């Protein structure tokens, strides 16, 4: 897996400003993986192995993580929560799409 991620140049080293405003010495370009179904499948399988068996839903924020979260959600048969950075300005003006978690839901960290 590591070789495949290196080949696709998914992991970037340098100084990056993240959405949060914090800086990081590396960046994982998940959007790069979108065009490679086998790599996406391998990542999905690896994530599924480490997600807590008590998790009741899968959540995603941001454009890059959504396809992988959707794959994980389908494979584990768990509802998918899509969290927007800010509410849409049109339509239903949702901040959360898909499944709306309740206090009973448990995530995996």
Q: What is the DSSP string of 46-102?
A: HHHHHS-TT---EEEESTTTHHHHHHHHHHHT--EEEE-SS--SSTT--SEEE----
Q: What is the pLDDT of residues 72-89, one digit of tens each?
A: 999 999 999 999 888 878
Chain-centre distance of CA 53, in angstroms? 18
Mean pLDDT of 6-23: 89
- The structural domains of the chain, with segments of one domain joined by +, span 2-98
Which residue has tokens 């995603």? 60
Lookup: tokens for 86: 């800010």
pLDDT at 56 over 70: yes
pLDDT bin (cut points 50, 70, 90) of residue 1 is low
Evaluate whether 3 touches 10 at the Cβ level (below 8 Å). no
Evaluate whether 75 touches 46 at the Cβ level (below 8 Å). no
pLDDT bin (cut points 50, 70, 90) of residue 109 is low
CATH numeric code, 2-98: 3.40.50.2020
């Amino acid at each position: 897996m590591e070789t495949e991620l290196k080949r696709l140049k998914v992991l970037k080293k340098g100084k990056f400003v993240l959405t949060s405003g914090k800086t990081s010495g590396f960046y994982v370009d998940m959007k790069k993986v979108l065009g490679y179904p086998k790599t996406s499948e391998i990542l999905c399988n690896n994530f599924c192995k480490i997600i807590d068996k008590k998790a009741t839903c899968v959540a995603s924020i941001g454009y890059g993580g959504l396809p992988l979260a959707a794959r994980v959600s389908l494979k584990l048969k768990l509802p998918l929560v899509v969290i927007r950075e800010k509410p849409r300005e049109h339509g239903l003006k949702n901040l959360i799409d898909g499944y709306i978690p309740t206090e009973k839901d448990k995530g995996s960290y």
